[in-house]
Structure 1
Amino acid sequence: MNNRDIMNMLMQETYKWIVGQRSVYGMRAKRIGGADRERLLPYFKSRVLDSARVALVGRIDNPPFYPRLKDLGLSVIDFREMDGITFVDCILMSKAVQRSDKDRLSILFHEMVHVVQYRYLGVRRFLEEYLAGWIKNRRDYSSIPLEKQAYDLQRRFDRGERFSVESKLGIFFLF
């Protein structure tokens, strides 16, 4: 299977997975409120925070199509080891990882950056950019441009810098 075939298969399967996970977890996910909302408000517009939901899960599961990828000899991102993942505007945070309140908020910030990326790009384009970045960078998670953006802004958040995430990402997403 060549990269184009892999990309097409991944686009179809991952899109279904994202939409399905958002549907399943979106029903039980909670709005961001209280101290978390207050801490994130300088970085995100109210409407963005209002649209996002967070669900705590025992562990983040890998997609059901992973065995097919492994059969093709592809290395995959092991989501079971992740602290969080974002499905459009529904954020899952793993309870399996013990973390301080500061670390939890940092992870939530990172996932909120992905919420803004989804808003700018839409689901399909976000997915295209994410998967193309993964394939182009030899399936290295840390080299995916959308992740690099989120981690860069997360580091700035952790240092206490003040900025608008939408403004910073708008620079990348000018059409």
Structure 2
Amino acid sequence: MLKQIEEWIRQVNQSHAPQRQSCSRFEEPFSGFYSPGFLNSAYFVVVDQIPKPDLPGLRAAGLGDFIDMDVAGITYDDTYYVQRSVANELRLHFHELVHVVQWRQLQPLGFITRYLDEIQAHGYNDAPLEKMAYRLDGHYQANGKSFDVEDYVRTNL
């Protein structure tokens, strides 16, 4: 099933490639948090509906609630998707960029495996990868002191 999910993600990202926008546009608001090189190699797509892999195997694994959950954004490898209605919310972009760093550190199959295991074991709100992203986006939203998010994620995964 993991290879099927990875292939689905590859196809989704490929089909949305013409709409991808570089995260380099966030260089100023995220200065001190994310490096310009990282932002230049991360992308987002504004969509009316968040793409999710509604695969029978995921539902059989007890992940139906996660698949059906209404989310504002989701990350697949170096690209994340945000709903049009919240596309200008910096906190959301900050959060999804944390997930891009996590994807890079864990690699696709590693991220997919860990993320699904965490959702199954802890639920979405208590999944460690999500808790990290929410903690960091909350720090940003509260005008917290800047720090290297990429290094933080590498050290704390």
What TM-score do you get using the length of structure 2 for normalisation? 0.87
In 2, the alpha carbon distance for the partners of 1:132 and 1:111 equals 19
**Which residue of 69, 77, 88 maps to 2:66?**
77
Once residues 62 and 100 of structure 1 are traced to their aligned partners in structure 2, the CA distance between those partners, rounded to angstroms, is 18
Q: Which has the larger radius of gyration?
A: 1
Report SS of the residue matched to 2:80.
strand
Tell whether the 8 Å contact from 1:25 to 1:90 is kept in structure 2 after alignment. Answer: no
Distance 1:69 1:124, change over 3 A: closer
Matches within 5 A, 1:36-47: 36-47=26-37
User: Is this contact kept in 2: 1:61–1:80, CA < 8 A?
Assistant: no
Match of 2:152 in 1: 168
Q: Which runs of 4+ in 1 moved over 2 A?
A: 67-70, 72-76, 98-101
Aligned length: 155
Q: CA deviation at 1:100?
A: 8.5
Determine which of 9, 15, 19 is the counterpart of 1:28.
19
**% identity of equivalent residues:** 26
Give the 3-state SS of the residue equivalent to 1:54 in structure 2: strand
Between the aligned partners of 1:118 and 1:51, the Cα distance in structure 2 is 13
1:109 aligns with 2:94: yes
Deviations 1:116-155 (A, max 9, x none): 1111111111111111111222xx1112111111111011
Match of 1:159 among 142, 148, 155: 142
Task: Tell me whether 14-23 or 50-59 shows the greater mean CA deviation.
Answer: 14-23
Cα pair 2:72 2:86 within 8 Å, conserved: no
In structure 2, stretches of 5+ residues that fail to align are none
Unaligned stretches of 5+ residues in structure 1: 1-8
1:12 corresponds to which residue?
A: 3
Aligned-pair CA distance for 1:99: 4.0
Once the two structures are superposed, residues 102-128 of structure 1 have per-residue CA deviations (whole angstroms, 9 ceiling, x without a partner) of: xx1100000000111111111111111
| Counterpart in the other structure of 1:87 | 76
State the TM-score, normalized to the length of structure 1: 0.79
CA separation of 1:41/1:77 partners in 2, compared to 1, >3 Å: closer, same or farther? same
Find the aligned partners of 1:89 and 1:100 in 2 and give their Cα distance. Answer: 17
